[in-house]
Amino acid sequence: MKICVCGIAEINEGKHNLKDPRLDQADKLVEAQKKTYAQVDVIGSDNTLEADAILSHRDCYPDLILKDLEFVETRLGRDPQETERAVLNKIKARLENEESVFKAGLTAEELQAIAAHGFHTNKPIAIAESSDLAEPETLLIRAVKESGYISFLTVGGKENRAWLIRNGTTAWEAAGAIHSDIQKGFIRAEIISFADFIGAGGETLAKRAGKQRLETKQYVMQDYDLTNFRFNK
């Protein structure tokens, strides 16, 4: 996942660990050789079009809006076809109200009409206030969450690890986040909810309490599900 950071000098470009305290909790309950946080790639403000999401200081947000508004006005001045014009006018009204393209409520057909264009604000945007800047790690975690991403956990043995996935990802798709071979040979997913895992005091105790479930490919992953994939090797 790529997060474009605008106007927040406290967060440098490059790879960043998402230091979610829930992984720290899991690591205390299950012995493993190492602990691996989920990661994101932070890119600079000149690369907004490449980003999956934007984390912007409040003072920089109007600049993002203005870039898209200038593009829309330029495009409208070139007399586009009626369908595109209608969508651009809808976007213009939203931008003039300081709303992002992402939140304009465009239908699939409307998005198709402007598919050839890149908009800076057509992606989730998390806004940071000046008071937030002392906690850059927390800001990144919030940006990921507000962008519609969650994590699942694998624990024990070599590694306790958090894996980043989009909200709505199925168990079969989540298996592919680890390795394509696991996805191809998927049989079932052994799932313990994070609340049950913590409440029981660990993986073994949760299993003894009957908290582990067997789920199929279609199961929709929940945030911080403790997961073990059964698969044909």
Q: Parallel, antiparallel, or unpaired: how do β-strands 157-166 and 39-43 relate? A: unpaired
Domain ranges across the chain? 2-19+39-145, 168-231
Please identify, in words, the CATH class of the domain defined by 2-19+39-145.
mainly alpha
Beta bridge partners, 15, equal 41
Phi/psi at 134 (5° precision): -75, -10
**Residue 233 pLDDT > 90:** no
Per-residue pLDDT, averaged over 53-77, amounts to 96
Distances (CA, A) of 163 to 52, 104, 140: 17, 30, 15
pLDDT digits (tens, 9 = 90+) for 162-218: 999 999 999 999 999 999 999 999 999 999 999 999 999 999 999 999 999 999 999
pLDDT tens figures, 81-120: 999 999 999 999 999 999 999 999 999 999 999 999 999 9
Average pLDDT over residues 37-43: 97
Handedness of CA 15, 102, 225, 229 (dihedral sign): negative
**Torsion on CA atoms 175, 178, 180, 184, rounded to nearest 10:** -30
Fold of 168-231: Ubiquitin-like (UB roll) (3.10.20)
Residue 42 C-beta-side C-alpha neighbours within 13 Å: 22
Q: How confident is the model at residue 130 (pLDDT cuts 50, 70, 90)?
A: confident
Q: Residue 58: what pLDDT? A: 94
Q: Quick one: pLDDT at residue 27?
A: 96
